[in-house]
């Protein structure tokens, strides 16, 4: 890994770090040299990962954060800064899904998805931006915000209307934030992964309908978590100094 791709000297906050992709992102950022704030509601799930990173020689801290709450997000960023120093890279990854036909879906379920996926991403990015600007990123140009969307941001998925709508919102929000912060030293980019088996969808892909879905993919397989490693590190690093407002789809050709 080149020096520009290494994350030594960076402090990265990852939301949704208690499981799935967030857990993976936190681990690979720590391996690349970053100090990592692991943010999630379920802090009990962060204990083992925090210990793993520390035992490997890294620095990590578990942060209680509910991304739907402005107060919780602000307190979480303050706690991360107290423990690790100013945060200069953020990966807004927290997300949920509520499946079902739109006519049968409760408005409460719709609101839950939008509150975590879209409102949560905004609160996370805004809290990061305020602190990065206060820390002088307009002069250093080292601010990095990565919003994790999905191929659902551009591809309609049956039975997942709220999820698709929320991720489309994340995509455009990332582009708008990048434009707003263009001259202020913060790069904002959006990652749109394809289908990867994680805790949120493992039951589906083990079912017969899920297996049929996989069989319809051009390569007839799910992606692996590690397929996103290099892009996540790149977009969090100094190497991405000239990259902002971009949307990166990594889906193994699933939308091809």
Active site residues per annotation: 163
Q: What spatial distance separates the first Cα and last Cα of the chain, rounded to whole Å?
A: 30
Compute the distance between CA of residue 174 and CA of residue 129 in angstroms, rounded to an integer.
Answer: 12
Cβ pair 173, 122 in contact under 8 A = yes
Going by C-alpha positions, the residue among 172, 153, 155 that lies closest to residue 255 is 155
**R_g of the chain, CA atoms, integer Å:** 17
HEC profile for 22-63? HHHHHHHHHHCCCEEEEEECCHHHHHHHHHHHHHCCCCEEEE
Class of residue 77 by CB neighbours under 10 A (exposed 0-12, middle 13-18, buried 19+): buried
Compute the distance between CA of residue 44 and CA of residue 167 in angstroms, rounded to an integer.
Answer: 27
Side by side, which strands form the sheet with 143-148?
60-64, 35-40, 11-15, 89-92, 143-148, 186-193, 247-250
């Amino acid at each position: 890994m080149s020096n520009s791709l290494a994350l030594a000297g960076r402090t990265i906050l990852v939301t949704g770090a208690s499981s799935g992709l967030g857990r993976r992102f936190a681990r690979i950022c720590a391996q690349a040299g970053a100090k990592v704030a692991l943010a999630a509601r379920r802090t009990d799930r962060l204990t083992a990962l925090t210990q793993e990173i520390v035992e490997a020689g890294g620095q990590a801290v578990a942060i209680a954060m509910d991304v739907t709450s402005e107060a919780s997000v602000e307190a979480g960023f303050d706690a991360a800064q107290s423990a690790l120093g100013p945060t200069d890279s953020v990966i807004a990854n927290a997300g949920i899904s509520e499946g079902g036909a739109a006519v049968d879906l409760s408005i409460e379920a719709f609101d839950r998805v939008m509150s975590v996926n879209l409102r949560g991403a905004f609160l996370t990015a805004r809290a990061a931006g305020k602190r990065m600007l206060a820390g002088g990123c307009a002069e250093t140009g080292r601010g990095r915000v990565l919003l994790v969307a999905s191929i659902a941001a551009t591809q309609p998925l049956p039975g997942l209307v709220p999820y698709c709508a929320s991720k489309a919102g994340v995509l455009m929000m990332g582009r708008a934030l990048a434009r707003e912060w263009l001259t202020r030293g913060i790069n904002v980019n959006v990652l749109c992964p394809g289908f990867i088996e994680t805790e949120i969808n493992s039951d589906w892909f083990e079912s017969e309908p899920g297996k049929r879905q996989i069989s319809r993919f051009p390569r007839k397989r799910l992606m692996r978590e590690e397929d996103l490693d290099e892009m996540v590190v790149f977009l969090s690093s100094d190497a991405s100094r000239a990259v902002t407002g971009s949307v990166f789809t990594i889906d193994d050709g699933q939308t091809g």
